[in-house]
Amino acid sequence: MKYDYYSSPIGSLLLAGDEGGLQFIGFPEGKGHLEPASDWILDGQPFAMVKAQLAEYFSGDRTAFDLPLHPHGTAFQLHVLQALQSIPYGETRSYSDIAQQIGKPNAVRAVGAANGRNPLPIVIPCHRVIGADGSLTGFGGGIRAKQFLLALEQQLDDCGDSTEL
């Protein structure tokens, strides 16, 4: 596994992956904080495209990612991650919406758990999932990071401006 860091408006993000693609994005704090394992190799070269697309996203020039991804999880978790990728930029969905979308309307809590285990936040937009009442729920990078990402997308979607954390 190779890794590097990307300096973003929400802090330094750990990027990790292998020849199959990007496997992890770790936040600088919160439950999504990730440290490289002792056998991982620091190497920025494999992440040039990831960094370029993240820079475009944070500057408002990219609304979807086109990267080789290699997430791991159960079949159910991977199904939820696939559904998350269909949430349009600047929009949100509830956990119930995602459960309905994957054909498991009674699996709202399981969808929430799978969303919370997303190994590739931002790129797989779990930040776009909110409570049924519109409330912001947990996020691996913390609620402040989630608020920033949603505001960035909403503001850019509305008027093309950017926002700062």
Q: Is 159 a catalytic residue?
A: no
Helices (H), the chain: 48-59, 75-84, 95-101, 108-116, 143-159
What is the separation of C-alpha 86 from the centre of its chain, rounded to a whole number of angstroms? 13
46, 65, 38, 39: which is closest to 6 by C-alpha? 46
CB 10 within 8 A of CB 149: yes
Which of the residues 99, 122, 124, 126 is marked catalytic?
Answer: 126
**Which residues belong to the active site?**
126
